[in-house]
A = this chain, B = another copy of it.
Amino acid sequence: MRKSRDTFSSIVLLSGGLDSATLLYYVRRKFPEPLAMVFLYGQRHRRELDSALAVARKAGVKVKKVKVPFPEVGSALLQPELKLPSRLTNKIPITYVPARNIVFLSLALAYAEAYGIDKVFIGVNAIDYSGYPDCRPEFIRAFNRMIRVGTKAGVEGHPIKVIAPFVTLTKAEIIKIGTSLGVPYELTWSCYAGGERPCGRCDSCRLRAKGFREAGIDDPLLSSARRSV
């Protein structure tokens, strides 16, 4: 990435899932020309990554792919030999990836500070979610406090801000916002398992289905899957 400073309005973390796709469209309307940052971190399947790239292409947003040297253990999302859980409990599930959002935000922060970008957007949500600690408002607040004391921009009084606009919305509310913005949900991918069609059983499939149901909207990913049968 050799583009000069101040060219991008912001950085948007893009995963290929529903929340971050909505976020990209939401941010793009308010702050034209965001940079979408997509992380390759040893995911079980490429489907999520392909979805992220397809969404960015559709949105006309430039992508920075970042390869992250994550450990190969510690999560069912990194270890294909571990079984994915099929129901939500009140415990943090084994799909939790150690320090994932901390690492992603740190790298986005490094790029933001190096390129003079002052906003980093992340699509985390702490309402209809799997209980990951790094998706909660208290985490975002603590990360921002750390930026203020730990970066040059921070101590000079113009800290980069991590912004999580959807953190206290329901999945249905996010889907309604996205639908009004024309987010191509048929290109997104939420299922932990990869494959041709969503498994319908993992945490992530269940939360997505609940969101569309509560929003009273058909999930275009399922309609297109049905059409292709």
A-side residues, CB < 8 A to B, are 1-2, 5, 66-75, 92, 96-103, 105-107, 109-115, 133-134, 136, 138-139, 142-143, 145-152, 154-156
Q: Smallest CB-CB separation from A97: which chain B residue?
A: B110
Let me know if A73 and B107 touch, CB within 8 A. no
Q: Enumerate chain B residues within 8 angstroms of A113, measured Cβ to Cβ.
A: 74, 98-99
Let me know if A71 and B102 touch, CB within 8 A. no
Let me know if B110 and A70 touch, CB within 8 A. yes
State the Cβ distance, A125 to closest chain B Cβ, in Å.
Answer: 15
Count of this chain's copies in the oligomeric assembly? 2
Let me know if A71 and B151 touch, CB within 8 A. no
Let me know if A110 and B115 touch, CB within 8 A. no
| Partner of A150 from B75, B107, B139, B149 at Cβ < 8 Å | B139
Q: Enumerate chain B residues within 8 angstroms of A149, measured Cβ to Cβ.
A: 133, 136, 138-139, 142
Q: Enumerate chain B residues within 8 angstroms of A152, measured Cβ to Cβ.
A: 92, 96, 98, 133
Let me know if A114 and B98 touch, CB within 8 A. yes
Q: Smallest CB-CB separation from A109: which chain B residue?
A: B99
Q: Enumerate chain B residues within 8 angstroms of A70, measured Cβ to Cβ.
A: 110, 114
| Partner of A142 from B103, B138, B146 at Cβ < 8 Å | B146
